[in-house]
Amino acid sequence: MEKEVLKSMFDNLLHIGNKTNFWNPKMKRYIYWDSNWVHIFNLVKTVEKIEEVKERLSEITKSGKKILFVTTKIQGKDAFQKLATETNNFYVSEKWIPGLLTNFKTIKARIATYLKILKEQEMWEFETLTKKEQAARLLELGKLDKAYGWLKEMKRLPDLIFIVDWVYEWQAVKEANTLGIESIAILNTNWDDLIVTNCIPANTNSPKSIWYIADEIKSSIFMTTPGSISKGNVIKKIEDNKSSFGSKTFTKIEKKEEIKTEKIQEVEIKEEVKIKKTQEVETKEEVKTEKTQKVEAKEEVKTA
């Protein structure tokens, strides 16, 4: 192992395991020694496992298969959200939804509901609802977005799940094992590597360690759609590849944009009409005031 790699791993705290009284003997082969009642990982073994995992991820993604990254542990959320976004894969970072894999048919129906409400919002259909109905719709959309925001493109079960510290994600591992889905996990010294298909033995309690691993495996993931799939990038890709997709698809997109523009214009026209009516009312009030003043002036003349 190169000294630079070793130093980098030490700097990012990959070598630190759990306390010696909180470990699983099945992880013994990955442990080098203990220091101050804390287990220290054998980084040679960690490097070997990282290389194995990178090779497998490369095989999986090159064949067009998809990965589901699961990390509800706060230390790994940002790292793996970023990784999933940049490699155009799926992730769960808030809460594992029971039955996400084993009851995927029901989950698909919930995702369809989420997409329907999103479409309604995009097409300005919320404007036709009362304020109370709008508030209820937005509340439901917020809940669905939190649960399915990065699963909305998942049309079928993932080919592999990648987990950060399966003590937090035991239900995800259980469902994957039930369905025979391949699983890879970053494991600390307190868990069993035989429960998952493959593992990376490393510190799961430090954000630095998890960021290091995320950056390492990123290079091995074949990106079918480079970079983020944010709205801006999607629009840019549409423009760049317009000719290759055919005119029909883009006619539909243009029609939707026209409908949206028309609705905006309708709203603006309604606002203008409202303003005109307000001005007319004000004018009438002014005329009324003038007439009242004239009557009062005549009354004063008569009195005089």
Give tens-digit pLDDT for 180-201. 999 999 999 988 889 999 999 9
Topology of domain 3-101+157-228, CATH:
Rossmann fold (3.40.50)
Segment 122-144 shows an average pLDDT of 79
* Nearest CA-CA partner of 41 in 204, 218, 176: 204
pLDDT at 262: 64
Segment 25-38 shows an average pLDDT of 90
* Nearest CA-CA partner of 93 in 112, 114, 74: 74
* Nearest CA-CA partner of 188 in 208, 170, 167: 167
Q: What pTM value is reported for the model? A: 0.69
Segment 76-82 shows an average pLDDT of 93
Span 236-263, pLDDT tens digits: 433 444 443 344 444 555 555 566 666 6
Query: Phi/psi class of residue 122: alpha, beta or left (left: φ > 0; alpha: ψ in -120 to 50)?
Result: alpha
Instruction: Categorize the per-residue pLDDT at 264 as very low, low, confident or very high, splitting at 50, 70 and 90.
Output: low
* Nearest CA-CA partner of 210 in 57, 54, 83: 83
Instruction: Categorize the per-residue pLDDT at 292 as very low, low, confident or very high, splitting at 50, 70 and 90.
Output: confident
pLDDT at 100: 94
186 contacts 161 by C-beta, under 8 angstroms:
no
181 contacts 161 by C-beta, under 8 angstroms:
yes
Q: Is 249 exposed, middle or buried (0-12, 13-18, 19+ CB in 10 A)?
A: exposed
pLDDT at 203: 95
pLDDT at 230: 37
Q: What percent of the chain has pLDDT over 90?
A: 45
Tell me which of 135 and 75 has the higher pLDDT: 75
Identity of the highest mean pLDDT range in 132-141, 189-198, 264-273: 189-198
pLDDT at 246: 45
Instruction: Categorize the per-residue pLDDT at 50 as very low, low, confident or very high, splitting at 50, 70 and 90.
Output: very high
Every domain of the chain and the residues it spans = 3-101+157-228, 230-304
Cα distance from N-terminal residue to C-terminal residue, the chain: 113
